[in-house]
Chains A and B, each alone.
Chain A
Amino acid sequence: MRLGQTGDRDAYESLLRELLQSLRRVVGRQWHRAEDVEDIVQEILISLHGVRHTYDPERPFIPWFMAIVRRRIADAARRSASRRMHEMNVEILPETSADEDAKKKTEGNTAGEAADQVRHALSSLPPAQREAVELLKVQGLSLKEASKKTGRSVPALKVMVHRAMKSMRRTLE
Chain B
Amino acid sequence: MTDPTERTAQLPKALAGDADAVRPLPGPHARMMAWFLLSLSFAVAAAWIIGPRPDLSARLTDTFFIIETAAAVLTSMMAAAAAFCSGCPGRPRWEQFVALPFVVLWIGSLGFGCLGSLAGWVENGGQWAMDLVCFPYIAAISSLPLLLILTMIRRLAPLAPATTTGMATLAASALGAAALRFVHVRDASLMVLVWQVGSVALLTGIAAALGKTVIRWPHEARQHRLIWSNRQTDATQQQ
Give chain A's interface residues, CB within 8 Å of chain B.
4-7, 9-10, 12-13, 16-17, 20, 34-35, 38-39, 41-42, 45-47, 49-57, 59-60, 62-68, 71, 148-153, 155-156
Contact = CB atoms under 8 A, between A and B. Distances in A.
Given A10-B16, A151-B227, A68 B24 contact: no
Q: Which of A7, A35, A156 has the most CB of B within 10 A?
A: A156
A65 B157 CA distance: 12
B90 A47 contact: no
Contact of A55 (B4, B8, B24, B155): B24
Contacts of B130: none
A13 B12 contact: yes
A150 B227 contact: yes
B4 A45 contact: no
Contact of B90 (A42, A57, A66): A66
B231 interface: yes
A45 B19 contact: no
Q: Is the interface of A mostly helix, strand, loop or mixed?
A: helix
A59 B90 CA distance: 9
Contacts of B89: 51, 54-55, 63-65, 67-68, 71
A56 B231 contact: no
Contact of A151 (B21, B218, B226): B226
Q: How many B residues are at the interface, by size bracket?
A: 35 or more
A126 to B, nearest CB: 15
B22 interface: yes
Contacts of A5: 21-24
Interface of B: 4-5, 7-9, 11-13, 15-25, 27, 87-91, 155-159, 217-219, 226-231, 234-235, 237-238
Contact of B231 (A52, A71, A153): A153
Nearest to B23: A53
Contact of A45 (B11, B24, B234): B11
Nearest to B10: A42
Nearest to A40: B8
A40 B214 CA distance: 23
Contacts of A54: 24-25, 87-89, 155-157
26 contacts: A9-B16, A12-B16, A13-B16, A16-B12, A16-B16, A20-B12, A34-B4, A38-B4, A42-B4, A42-B7, A42-B8, A47-B157, A49-B15, A50-B217, A51-B217, A52-B19, A56-B88, A57-B24, A63-B89, A67-B90, A68-B159, A71-B157, A151-B228, A153-B234, A153-B235, A155-B238
A65 to B, nearest CB: 8
A52 B5 contact: no
Contact of B234 (A55, A68, A149, A152): A152
A151 B230 contact: yes
Nearest to B6: A38
A122 to B, nearest CB: 11
B22 A52 contact: yes
B218 to A, nearest CB: 3
Contacts of B91: 67
B19 A152 contact: no
6 smallest beta-carbon distances between A and B, as pairs: A151-B230, A151-B227, A7-B21, A50-B218, A13-B16, A16-B12
A38 to B, nearest CB: 4
Given A153-B234, A156-B234, A60 B227 contact: no
